[in-house]
Amino acid sequence: MTPSEAGHVLGLSPDTVRVLCDKGRLPALRTMSGRRLVRRGDVERLAEERQRNARPKARGREV
């Protein structure tokens, strides 16, 4: 997947996907032309991880 496609799945910008790749959070491959590609399975794994780590929204106080 391209950073744009991965960003769409993750709800992130392509630039943020590139940063995640640079930091090693999302493994990426480089083509001969220098394009960055990520595996769909790695994107799905990260999406599940992000969903598990998402904090529940705060509820209003009940009286």
| Structural domain includes residue 14 | yes
With respect to residue 58, please indicate whether it lies within any of the assigned structural domains. Answer: no
Q: Is 63 part of any domain?
A: no
pLDDT value at 60 more than 90: no
Domain residue limits at 19? 3-53
Look at the chain and report how many structural domains it folds into.
1
Q: For 1-58, how does the pLDDT look when each residue is reduced to its tens digit (9 = 90+)? A: 999 999 999 999 999 999 999 999 999 999 999 999 999 999 999 999 999 888 666 5
Q: Does residue 12 fall inside a structural domain? A: yes
What is the C-alpha separation between 1 and 46, in angstroms, rounded? 14
Residue 60 lies in a domain: no
Phi (first) and psi of residue 49, to 5 degrees: -60, -45
Give how far the C-alpha of residue 33 lies from the chain's centroid of Cα atoms, to the nearest Å. 23
Q: Tokens 């709800």, residue?
A: 11
User: Does residue 62 lie in a domain region?
Assistant: no
Per-residue confidence (pLDDT) for residue 53, from 0 to 100: 87
What pLDDT sits at residue 55? Answer: 67
